[in-house]
Structure 1
Amino acid sequence: MPPKLNILASVTLSADQFKQLLSTIMEQATTTQQSEVRRSVSSTSYTRSPDSFAKCSARFNGSDDANVEAFIDNIITYKDCTNISDENGIKPSTKDWRSAVNILREVYSKKLPTHAVFRQLFAREQTHHEATHIFVAKFRALIAQLPYSVAEEMQLDKVYGLLALKIRKRLTRSEINSFKDLLNCAREIEQSFRESAFRKQEINTNQDGMQIKKLRPRYEHCKKFGHLKNECRQLEKENDDKELSKSTSARSKPECYGCGTPGYYRWNCPKCKEKTDVKTNIFEFSRPSLENE
């Protein structure tokens, strides 16, 4: 039976030998890591996608419910982001990119008469929570359906009158020279609104993030909110009515006009009845004689 080898036998290396062994291990590890990186890069390498809309996720089926304007906005955004040229984005039979977009609108867009377009333009104003860039985009999409072009200055006048009051208070018409200026200024205003709302939320929350409920003042007598006892108009009115009723009741209590005794009139006053009746003097008049004596 062959003797067993002591695998765990101690090995003694000098400092130079240990450095040489460590450098060899480091070189082998570096070589292995580089080979793995090359293998992963070669396995995941791919050829650049062709300059086309093949990977665009936007789809349009031409049905009545499909929104061609949303589809056009998506493909225009994709074209700008991927830098697709006009030649690769359209068929050879189409003149240019603008013509292709116009053909899509003419064939599939819901054609509204001019008066209907203006009715939709001025049917509503910007809501309080609606973003300005979304409202302006909807406005310009309706303007694009008109059979004639509208000057940008006139478009700015119309859309400015439909903006929310909170925007128009902080942005004058004279500050706007283009839609770019309008959108940039509106974004800054809306950002300030969001910061102020966040600041109010921080003030109304405690250290644990719990919302602090502010209690409105309420007076228990009238059960109404917004005031306390010293501001209650109902209590003040009731007190005035009480004072008026007291003064009225005091004035309505009868008094004898002969002697002033309260609670009696002259005809049933006991003090006045006790007085002796005044004797009445009777005078007799003789009829004068008109005959001569």
Structure 2
Amino acid sequence: MAEQVVMSDEQFTQLLETLRLNTNTSQISNIPSPPIQSGNFINCASRFNGDGNSDVNAFIDAIEIYIDCIRISNDNAFRGLPMPLDSFAATWFRGVKSSINTWNEAVNLLRITFGPKKPPHFVYRKLFSREQDSKTHTNVFICKARSILAQLPENTLTETVQLDMVYELLKKIREKEPRDKIEMRTELLKEAPSVEEFFDQNITCEQRDTIKRPRCAYCKNLGHIKDECRKLAYKLSKPPEGVQQKITQVSSIQVVDKEKPSTPRVSQNLLQQTSQLTSSFSCYGCGQPGYIRTNCPN
């Protein structure tokens, strides 16, 4: 007859936990791991041609993600690397293929050959050449700054130093958030939307409050433009100064002619000149030819 086993509650609980752990471990071990497929880059949409406009780092990141998703082995990835290469990059790989044997060697040689070769001081000058303006969103500016800093060799700058450099260029964040409150890049990205909204509201209020009144380019007074200026219209309605003097002379001669009718030839010539002069202007108020507004009988 089998002996009875007497256990306390604590021992029984430990036994149950042990049995449960053994059961879960056996189930996990029985699940087959997905095999590494013998895939290739035939369906990979990323291409690299090796010209100046191509980014080799972005290309390498894309194909490595593709390798992880499709689960391509490193040997197959190395053999199929010419498939996503075009133009000069494909020709370059045919020339160096005999000197490399593994996928990691090929990736490193791609970075060395086609990667950015700017020295650090050129990268810094490009980074500090432009500050954030009012039209550029903070997240977009941070992405552009990080793409510039990515051209530096690895481990050149710590994240804190990079954050200090980018923070100094962020005009909106610098005016709203102090530097000691931002310790990581993620905190900077989280604070950006609220600061953007605050600045957009202020800009809208300032634009509403600073609507400029029109200023005349002729008299420099506010409230009207040059085409509506009364002073300019009055000046244009008056005849030139020389014409006004001739009209005065003709008027005086006409009075003399009336008193002396023995000189009809002179008065006729003067009347012809007067008619030619007076036909070139008219009254600004009623439009009657030969008169200005100050001496118009109407």
TM-score range, shorter chain: 0.3 to 0.5
- After TM superposition, the score normalised by the length of structure 1 is 0.42
Which structure shows the higher helix fraction?
2
- After TM superposition, the score normalised by the length of structure 2 is 0.41
Larger Rg over CA atoms: 1
Relative CO higher for 1 or 2, CA cutoff 8 Å, sep ≥ 6? 2
